Chains A and B, each alone.
Chain A
Amino acid sequence: MILSRFWYAVLGAALAFAAFLLFLSTSVANRNAQRTADQLLTAASRSVGWYLADDARTRATALIPLSLDPDLRKTLAAANGQARMKDVDAGGRAKVKAKLARWREKRPSGKSFDAVWAVDRFGRVVANDNFERGTDSEYFELGGYSVVADALHGWIRDDAWVLDGRIYKVVARPVENAVNSTPVGAVIAAKIVDDAFVQSISDSTGAAVAFFANATRIATGAPPDFNRVALEVNASDIEALSADEDYQSKGRTAPLVLRRNSGFDTSVVFARMRGEAWDLGAGFVVGHRQATVSGPLEYQRLANDADKAAVPTLFIVLAAIGAVLVGLLLSLLEHTAPLAKFRRAIHDLADKRSDTDVLKPSVFRGTFRGIASNVNDALDKVAAQAGVDRGPADLESVLGPLPAQPQMSAFAVPDGSAAGTPEASPSKPKAPVPKPRASRPRRRPAPERPSRDETAGKAPAAAASEDQEVTSTDRSPTADRAAEEEPAPDTEQVSTGLSELVDPEELGAVSDAKPSSASPRPPPAAPSRPEAPAKKANRDRENDADGDDGGGGEDEEREWRRVYEEFRALKEQLGESTKKLTYEKFRGTLQRNKEALIARHQCQRVKFRVYEKQGRAALKASPVK
């Protein structure tokens, strides 16, 4: 289940990472969108400013014909000589007024004026058009305004007035009666900043713009899809500008959020109008409606068909399917398949027609291996309670009658002579087994086992019986189970390791001679490092098999060490555990079996060979006459 769990961890991490990316993308998208909006706003604000400047020049140019009008020049020059306006020729003033009106009416759409004045060099209004309010006063004049004063001094310029809550875009130019002289007067024209004017700005610049004066929005122009109410400014908004350093010094704020709404913000840039309006708090504000994403789910609401089409749906689906398939495969490999295998084994175990009375833990992996061992123990326990001894099977019970000629390994020595000896009884099955069964050597609990010394002190029969137990033909279940558990350092443990080596079918005929397992064990050779890897061991083994019959003059101890090294190398090569395999244990077993075979076959010596059987390392013992 490791891979499955790892896959769950991978999926969880992937999900968390995806969520992280979504939230991150939300923030990034908002930030980038805001940055883009800010750039657009700044550009739009500058565009509006440029439009106003260009518009002012255009309008000032439109005054040229008027400033060159002979009647206007004559009338203004005459007015300059009069102390009171009522002394100025009324006919001339009327004529000038008519000309002003005619000129104003001829203005093209989009460049029209709402008022036009003609003033003498004192600034007094000689004539005007469309600005009749109070202009009949003797004292009404325009000479104090800097734009008028400039025009009366020979300058052409513009201005922005705020009169009675309205913004007037004003242009003025001098009226000259002679070249290189002082102007006789000036003409001044004004355009009220109203919705129509601002809409023309919006149409030209594409910006949503509103003009404000006296802390009140007075005119707005915006693209059709822009809600003009979003540009509503109030006194608090204007008051806040007094603390804006950019606005105060440069006349334009950095982009700022005017209103926050659900799903969108209104970002704006405030700008001051040049002219007297600069000091009167009048200006314009350019706005942008910026959609915001409050969370990853908002994308669904904001996405259009094009956005959805841009999503690599096929890739995502394939990735999801791939993830599912990987998960299914891993669960199949780690859950379903082992479970099915275990289920079949259990079914076979439970089948009355089957000879199987034990599970083979080694064929299972992971938890099932432990379960199999526990099941076996449970079967032993139940059998013991029922009076059935499911103790360790002897070799004969496992292999059946042994052949007379020695041809088998020494590790499974069904000691017939020892059958009647009291020493052999503890491990010998009390109930005869009619046929070889898949042996199920019972493994005694470690605390109850005799120690290695105790085993050595037992009678040879008893020792032999131990060998029989541990070298029983079924190498797998008990051995594997024993290998999993912590073995006790005794003979059984040693044999457990070797028992894996034993292939009973390869054993030669073993005489009934009782192995003299009680003979003293030769002192173990000094531990030495393995001299050759598995290949070298195999090559040596082949050399031994081809020529020398066992080494002749080769020292037995050295041969056994070589066999040990070969055996160990082969186990490692086959991926078997060698953690519990020591030379001392190995040698002890070889010694016991050697003695048993010599006693049985009256041979001079026993030759051991290492070979592989069914993917596992095994030993073959051959008596040598």
Chain B
Amino acid sequence: MAESNWRHAPSVPAAAPPQRRRSLVCLTAVTLGVAAAGGFASAQEEPPPTAAVKGEVQGGEFLLNPVWNEARDPNNHRYTFRTPSVTVSQKAKTLTAFLPKEVPVVALGEGAKASEIAIEVQVSGGRTTPVTIVVPPGQSLQFVNRDPFPHALYTSDTDKGGLPAQPMTKGASRTWTPPGPGAYELRDELFPSVRSWVVVDARAVASGYPDLSGSFQIDGLPEGAYALQAYFNGAPSGSPVTIDVRPFPALQTLGAPIVVATKEGGD
């Protein structure tokens, strides 16, 4: 039985108290089936010691959600009127990326292996959760429809092993394994706002998602050297930050923030 050390730890609610953040991360990871380490750890072999890395991303306010910003363009006919609320701060009106779902921080290193358990991707509310996911080759994804109406996810390159469009009723799920390394953009025939990315990278060992303030944590990293890289819209965003993970302590802090973007934009 092949061992998998793929770790995926998405979304942390933004305003959650710091002391509860770790538990939330773990809970969420379990919920998404990504951090089911017990599921793919061999019962006969002693699992290698792992540690967690926490850090911070900066410049997230410069990442603009492509779907929302396209929708605000009047030429795209997405509304009959759109007016600002005068009592909301101007900064808040920028349609920035939703970090907990759109900007994973991926630990790139040696020994990345796919989990035998499919990573669950929720489909609800006009998007998927997560929106961008980075996985090693051979990693299966299970899309679960959490909406009370059908979805039909697909990728454009269906002839190369992409995801063909098929209706997915309420509560139904589909499992798909990306055919190889690369970036795959997911769309939904029934919901134009759904636009997600699956990045297949052989070096993707584990990942974590920052909260609204930019703090993130990656769990289950074996000892070794890693480059922490943020991804956005299916592509690396910003420069990676390297870290040597030691077996101890269990929670290691990244010395410098990960700058995901520096260019201003938005409204």
Chain A residues with CB under 8 Å of chain B are 49, 52-53, 56-57, 60, 80-84, 121-123, 133-135, 137, 139-150, 153-159, 162-164, 173-174, 176, 179-183, 251, 272, 274-276, 278-280
Contact A153 B192 (CB under 8 A): no
Which residues of B have CB within 8 Å of A137? 124, 146
Q: A56-B80, A81-B13, A154-B93 in contact; A148/B126 too (CB < 8 A)?
A: yes
**Complex CA distance for A181 and B90, rounded to whole angstroms:** 9
Known interface pairs A181-B89, A276-B78, A280-B192; A143-B68 also in contact (CB < 8 Å): no
21 examples of A-B residue contacts, CB within 8 angstroms: A80-B14, A81-B13, A83-B27, A121-B14, A133-B148, A140-B124, A140-B146, A140-B148, A145-B126, A150-B72, A153-B267, A155-B82, A155-B85, A159-B79, A162-B190, A164-B150, A176-B85, A180-B88, A182-B89, A183-B85, A280-B192
| Chain B residues, Cβ within 8 Å of A180 | 87-89
Nearest neighbor of B83 in chain A, beta-carbon distance: A156
> A83 to B24, Cβ gap below 8 A?
yes
Query: Which residues does B use to contact A, with CB under 8 Å?
Result: 12-17, 20, 24, 27-28, 65, 67-68, 71-72, 76-85, 87-89, 92-95, 98, 100, 122, 124-129, 146-150, 170-171, 190-194, 212, 267
Given contacts A80-B15, A143-B125, could you give 14 more A-B pairs where the C-beta distance is less than 8 Å? A134-B171, A144-B124, A149-B95, A150-B82, A154-B93, A155-B85, A156-B82, A157-B79, A174-B88, A179-B87, A181-B89, A182-B92, A272-B77, A278-B76
Tell whether A123 pairs with B125 under 8 Å between CB atoms, given A143-B98, A182-B92. yes
Q: Quick check: A149 and B88 within 8 Å, CB to CB?
A: no
Distance between Cα atoms of A182 and B96 in the complex (Å): 13
Cβ–Cβ contact A141 & B149, under 8 A: no
Instruction: Say yes or no: A83 contacts B28, CB within 8 Å.
Output: yes
* Nearest CB of chain B from residue A125's CB, rounded to whole Å: 8
Number of A-B contacts (CB under 8 A): 170
CB contacts (< 8 Å) of A146 on chain B: these are: 67-68, 71-72, 78, 126, 193
| Chain B nearest Cβ from A73, distance in angstroms | 12
CA distance A52 to B124 in the complex (A): 27
Q: Which of A49, A84, A154, A182 has the most CB of B within 10 A?
A: A154
Evaluate contact between A82 and B85: CB separation under 8 angstroms: no
Expressed in whole angstroms, the minimum distance between the Cβ of B204 and any Cβ of chain A is 24
Q: What is the bound-complex CA distance between A60 and B98, given in angstroms?
A: 25
A181–B149 alpha-carbon span in the complex (Å): 34
Given A83-B12, A153-B92, A182-B92, check contact A173 B85 (CB 8 Å): yes
Q: What is the CA–CA distance of A380 and B60 in the complex, to the nearest angstrom?
A: 132
Q: Are A53 and B80 in contact (CB under 8 A)?
A: yes
Q: How far is the CA of A614 from the CA of B23 in the complex (A)?
A: 142
Residues of A within 8 A of B100 (CB): 122
When C-beta atoms are compared, the residue in chain B nearest to A176 turns out to be B87
Closest Cβ–Cβ distance, residue B188 to chain A (whole Å): 10
Of chain A, the residue at the smallest CB distance from B98 is A143
Q: A139: which B residues are within 8 A, CB to CB?
A: 122, 124, 129, 146
| Given known A137-B146, A180-B89, contact A155–B83 (CB-CB < 8 A) | yes
**Candidates A82, A174, A272, A280; contact of B190 at CB < 8 Å:** A280
A83-B12, A140-B125 known; A158 vs B80 contact (CB < 8 Å)? yes
Taken together as a complex, chains A and B put the C-alpha atoms of A258 and B213 apart, in Å, by 56
Contacts of B15 in A (CB 8 A): 80-81
Q: A181 to B81, Cβ gap below 8 A? A: no
> Given A81-B16, A139-B129, are A144 and B194 also a contact pair (CB < 8 Å)?
yes
A155, B190: Cβ atoms under 8 Å? no
Once the chains bind, are A53 and B81 in contact (CB under 8 Å)? yes
- Shortest A148–chain B CB gap in Å is 7
Query: What is the chain A residue whose CB lies nearest that of B16?
Result: A83
For A181, the closest partner residue in chain B by CB is B89
How distant is the Cα of A140 from the Cα of B145 in the complex, in angstroms?
A: 10
**Chain A: CB-nearest residue to B23:** A83
- Using known A-B contacts A83-B20, A276-B192, determine if residue A157 contacts B85 with beta carbons closer than 8 Å: no
A149 CA / B66 CA spacing, docked (Å): 12
Q: Which listed residue (B68, B78, B124, B190) contacts A275, Cβ 8 A? A: B78
Instruction: Please tell me if the beta carbons of A141 and B125 are within 8 angstroms of each other in the complex.
Output: yes
Complex: how many Å from CA A251 to CA B74? 13
Instruction: Name which of B80, B83, B127 has the most chain A CB atoms within 10 A of its CB.
Output: B80
Distance in Å: Cβ of A29 to nearest Cβ of chain B: 38
A257 to B44, CA, bound (A): 75
Write the chain A residue with the least CB distance to B169. Answer: A164
Query: Which residues of the partner chain B approach A279 to less than 8 Å between Cβ atoms?
Result: 192
Q: A148, A149, A280 — which one has the most chain B CB atoms within 10 A of its CB?
A: A149
Q: Inside 8 A of A159's CB, which chain B residues have their CB?
A: 78-79
- With a cutoff of 8 Å between Cβ atoms, the chain A residues found around residue B192 in the complex are 276, 279-280
Q: Which residue from A83, A176, A274 sits with its C-beta under 8 Å from B88?
A: A176
Residue pair B95, A156 in contact (C-beta under 8 Å): no
Residues in B with CB closer than 8 Å to A53 are 80-81
Cα-based distance from A173 to B170 in the complex (angstroms):
28
Evaluate contact between A153 and B127: CB separation under 8 angstroms: no
Which residues from chain A contact B92 at a C-beta distance below 8 Å? Answer: 153-154, 181-183
- Decide: B149 and A163 in contact? CB cutoff 8 A: yes
Q: Taking CB as reference atom, which chain A residue is nearest B74?
A: A274
Nearest 7 Cβ contacts at the A-B interface: A144-B127, A154-B88, A144-B126, A134-B148, A146-B71, A141-B125, A133-B148
Chain B residue numbers with a CB within 8 Å of A80 are 13-15
Interface centre among B68, B88, B127, B150 (most CB of A within 10 A): B88
Q: Is the CB of B93 within 8 A of A143?
A: no
Q: Which residue on chain B has the smallest CB distance to residue A154?
A: B88
Cα A161 to Cα B196 in complex, Å, equals 19
Establish whether residues A275 and B79, one from each chain, have CB atoms under 8 Å apart when the complex forms: yes
* Smallest CB separation, B118 vs chain A (Å): 16
Q: Could you say which residues of chain B place their CB within 8 Å of the CB of A162?
A: 190
Q: How far is the CA of A142 from the CA of B98 in the complex (A)?
A: 13
For the complex formed, measure the closest distance between the CB of A529 and the CB atoms of chain B, giving whole angstroms: 94
Closest to B76 in A: A278
Cα-based distance from A180 to B91 in the complex (angstroms): 9
A157 to B80, CA, bound (A): 8
* Bound-state Cα–Cα, A142 to B72, Å: 17
Residues A57 and B72 in contact, CB atoms below 8 Å apart: no
Chain A: minimal CB distance from B64 (Å)? 11
- CB-CB under 8 A for A145 and B146, given A53-B81, A83-B28, A154-B84: no
CB distance from B190 to the nearest CB of A (A): 7
B94 surroundings in chain A (CB, below 8 A): 153
**CB-CB under 8 A for A164 and B82, given A140-B124, A146-B71:** no
Say how far A576's CB is from chain B's closest CB, in angstroms. Answer: 93
Closest chain A CB from B233 CB (angstroms): 15
Of A80, A135, A153, A181, chain B has the most CB atoms within 10 Å of the CB of: A153
Determine the chain A residues whose CB is within 8 A of the CB of B93 once the complex forms.
Answer: 153-155
Residues of A within 8 A of B12 (CB): 83
A276 & B191 in contact (Cβ 8 Å cutoff)? yes
Tell me, in angstroms, the Cα distance from A148 to B79 when the chains sit together: 12
Across the interface, name the chain A residue whose C-beta is closest to B20: A83
Is B68's CB under 8 angstroms from A149's CB?
Answer: yes
Evaluate contact between B125 and A56: CB separation under 8 angstroms: no
CB distance from A72 to the nearest CB of B (A): 15
Contact B147 A140 (CB under 8 A): yes
